[in-house]
Amino acid sequence: MMQTRGELPNWVDVGLIPLINLCVALIASGLVVLIIGENPFEAMWIMVQGSLGSLKGWGYMLYYATNFVFTGLAVAVAFHAGLFNIGGEGQAYMAGVGAATVGLGLDWLPWPILLPLAILASMAMGAFWAWIPGVLQAKRGSHIVITTIMFNFIAASLVGYIINYGFRPVGKMAVESREITGAYILSAREVAREYFGVKIASSPLNFSVFLALIAAWAVWYLLWRTKLGYEIRALGANPAAAVYAGIRADRIIIIAMTISGALAGLMAVNEILGVQHRLLLGYVGGAGFVGIAVALMGRSHPIGILLAAMLFGLLYQGGSELSFAKPEINRDMVVVIQGLVILFMGAFEYAFRPALSALFFPLGGEDNQ
C-alpha cells in the first residue's frame, strides 16, 4: 500500500518511538543516579541482576508486575474514554476493605464459593470508589483528575479508620486485620511443594498472575470486540462525534470509570488474598500511580501494558535490591523513574518524531515516486 507523504511506518510509531522515549527516560534517570554520586551502569546492573538473576528475583518481579497490570489496565480503560483516572491508589485501597470484609466475614463458606466472592467484593469496592468521581464528572462536570486525587486522600484516611476501628483485633497493637484463612490464593511456592514435590525459592508470586492475564485479555476483548468498547473508544477519540452518533457520553463516562475502578480493585486480590492474607495500613504503596506510567508506556494496549508492567516489576524488585546494595540510592528512585517515564512517554510523546521523519524521508517525503 502506498504511504502518504512523510507518514512513518506503523512499526516506528508503535515500536521504535516508544523505545526511544523509554531510553531517554532511562538516560535521564541515570543522570539523577550520577548526581547522587553513584555509577548508573553499576546501578542498572544490580537492578537487572536483582530481578532476573535468580528464580526468587523472577518471582518478585512477576508479583510486582501482577499489581501493575491491574492498575495499568485500570488507567488504560479510562484513558480510552478520554478520562484520566489517577485514583487507582485509592480504589485499590478501598478494594482491600471489600476483600477483607468478605474473606473474614463469610469465612464459614467453603473456599470455592468464598474466594470468588472475595474477588468480586474487591472489584465492587474498587468500582464503587471510581463510580462516584465518574458520576460527578458525568452529571456535574467535576474535573476527574481533581476528584480522583481527592478520593485517594479520602480513602487513605477512611481505610485507616476502618482498619483501626473495624478490623483490628482487640488488644493488638499493629493496625491490621486478623489473618484471612478462608479466601486464599495459592502461591507458586506452595503449588510446587504440594503438587510437584519441588522446593523453589520463596517469593510472593501467586495464582493472581493468571488473573492478570485474564484481565488483560478481557480488556482487549471489551475495547476492540464489543459495542460498549467501541463506544468507549469513540467517546475518547472524538467526544463531539460520539455524541452526534448517538452515544450517551454521561453513561459511557460512568461505565468506563466503574470498569476502571474494578480493575484497580483486583490489585487487592494479589496483595491481600494472595500475599499478605490480612488487610494492612497503606498496603497499596504507590502501585496505583505506577499504573499511570505503565498505561502510558504500554500505549493503553493490553499487550503493551503486560510488557510495561514487567519492566516496572523489574524496576521495583531491582530497586529494592539496589537500596540494599547502595543505601545512598533510596527506594524512591523508582518514583523518579516513574515520573520521567510519564514525562517522556506521555508529554514528550512526539519529541523525536520530526527527527525520525527526516531520517526516513531525507528528501522531504518523496518516497512514493
In the complex, the residues that contact another protein under the rule CB under 8 A are 32, 35-37, 84, 86, 136, 140-143, 145-147, 149-151, 153-154, 157-158, 160-161, 164-165, 289, 292-293, 296, 328-330, 332-340, 342-343, 346-351
- Tell the burial category of 35 from Cβ atoms under 10 Å away from its Cβ (0-12, 13-18, 19+): exposed
Q: Which residues of 326-363 are buried (b: 16+ CB within 10 A; e: fewer)?
A: beebeeebbeebbbbbbbbbeeeeeebeeebbeeebee
Report the alpha-carbon distance of residue 91 to residue 323 in Å, rounded. 29
The set of cell numbers assigned to 159 is 481505610
Instruction: Output the DSSP codes for 276-290.
Output: ISS-BTTTTTTHHHH
List all residues 6 or more positions away from 154 whose beta carbon is below 8 Å from its beta carbon: 90
How far apart are CB 208 and another protein at their closest, in Å?
26
How far apart are CB 133 and another protein at their closest, in Å?
8
Q: Is the CB of 161 or the CB of 244 nearer to another protein?
A: 161
Q: Is the CB of 69 or the CB of 341 nearer to another protein?
A: 341
How far apart are CB 329 and another protein at their closest, in Å?
7
Q: Is the CB of 146 or the CB of 303 nearer to another protein?
A: 146
Q: Is the CB of 160 or the CB of 365 nearer to another protein?
A: 160
How far apart are CB 145 and another protein at their closest, in Å?
6
How far apart are CB 158 and another protein at their closest, in Å?
7
Q: Is the CB of 108 or the CB of 161 nearer to another protein?
A: 161
Task: Kindly report the number of other CB atoms within 10 A of residue 50's CB atom.
Answer: 22
List all residues 6 or more positions away from 316 whose beta carbon is below 8 Å from its beta carbon: 60, 61, 64, 290, 334
The set of cell numbers assigned to 78 is 479510562
Q: Is the CB of 86 or the CB of 118 nearer to another protein?
A: 86
How far apart are CB 181 and another protein at their closest, in Å?
28
How far apart are CB 159 and another protein at their closest, in Å?
9
Q: What are phi and psi of 310, to 5 degrees?
A: -70, -40
Q: CA dist 234 to 86, 91, 118, 126, 215, Å?
A: 21, 25, 33, 25, 22
- Tell the burial category of 161 from Cβ atoms under 10 Å away from its Cβ (0-12, 13-18, 19+): exposed
Q: Is the CB of 121 or the CB of 136 nearer to another protein?
A: 136
